[in-house]
Amino acid sequence: MTPTRHTARIYRGTPRNLARLAQALIRGELVAVPTETVYGLAADALSPRACRRIFRAKGRPASDPLIVHIHAWRQLELLAEPNEAARRLAAAFWPGPLTLVLSKKPVVPAIVTAGLPSVAVRMPRHPLLQRLLKLCGRPLAAPSANPFGYVSPTTAEHVCLGLGAKIRYILEGGATPIGLESTIVDLRDPRKPRLLRPGAITREQLEKVLGCRVALARRPTPAPQGAQLAPGLLKRHYSPHTRVVLHATAAPADWLHAPSNEAWLLIMKPGQATPPNVHWLDARGNLRGVARRLFSQLRQLDAAGYRRIHVELAPGGGLAEAINDRLRRAAAAG
């Protein structure tokens, strides 16, 4: 079998390289970029032609909208109709891993929003992406930089493995510090905020700032034309090729004598010796460490040739809600 030939080049975040990549984006090309959550595949959000390239490169259905990334509040006012709830959340969490769904303005192309009258927007915290956004002077649409439905990339090397034959530019920003996609909140009706996708900004944090309950939309209903209100809402997503099996807890009796061709991925390091097919996400079970390493570990185990990957669910609420959301989608039947 002939190896896939990669055309992508990884660029360090020097001033010269950032200027080069900004010009590529202005020309309508794609650039994979680091964010604090996962790596994104960026294009000029106001160019339908550029955004179509995202869908082609990822094999992404047109029914799945894109998140638009901005660097200043004035850009949000260009794209959407902000309300008081949006202002409060932005003041508390932007720049950061929070995406707001609001009514859109006509300047946003239909391809970005899957034809819906709403748009998902966030202001990322990663310093390299912030600089790139300022150099471009325009908002950037950027879903995760991987083939559609696969495990999200948390390093530039992950991007190269998945999309290296389809894109030319990757901005190196190191391993992403959060490791899970952004929290998404539907604020179209500010009196009834809904959590569409949990993330590092937890439901409890949102409720504290808004002063009201934030409902969890467990099964968002697609629009009549089949479009999703926001990305990451499909039943199966973030999925390795290897079958994932979830466990509420994983006792030593479960994994000590498991078949060697089946991997176990635990939340924390066991206090005893483990077989080679047993892995863990954080030595002490710290959920921030678990989230940061989850996708990277799933990728590693997927590439190792195991027949199945058994994964322990995270205990508790807060960030565990986001971790378990990704795991349930990764394990869902296709």
Tens digit of each residue's pLDDT, the chain (334 residues): 344 566 899 999 999 999 999 999 999 999 999 999 999 999 999 999 999 999 999 999 999 999 999 999 999 999 999 999 999 999 999 999 999 999 999 999 999 999 999 999 999 999 999 999 999 999 999 999 999 999 999 999 999 999 999 999 999 999 999 999 999 999 999 999 999 999 999 999 999 999 999 999 866 554 545 788 888 888 888 999 999 999 999 999 999 999 999 999 999 999 999 999 999 999 999 999 999 999 999 999 999 999 999 999 999 999 999 999 999 999 997 6
- d(CA 274, CA 250) in angstroms, rounded, equals 13
- The reported pTM is 0.95
| Residues 67 and 229 sit within 8 Å (Cβ to Cβ) | no
* Torsion over CA: 102, 103, 109, 113 (sign): positive
Task: Give CB contacts under 8 A, 24+ apart, made by 185-188.
Answer: 185/89, 185/98, 185/99, 185/100, 185/101, 185/214, 186/101, 186/217, 186/229, 186/230, 187/83, 187/85, 187/86, 187/89, 187/100, 187/101, 187/102, 188/101, 188/102, 188/103, 188/118
Phi, psi of 76 (to 5 degrees): -60, -40
Q: Which helix (H) or strand (E) holds 325?
A: helix 319-331
Tokens of 292: 């940061």
In the chain, where does the domain assigned CATH 3.90.870.10 lie?
Answer: 9-216
- d(CA 308, CA 261) in angstroms, rounded, equals 8
**CATH code of domain 9-216:** 3.90.870.10
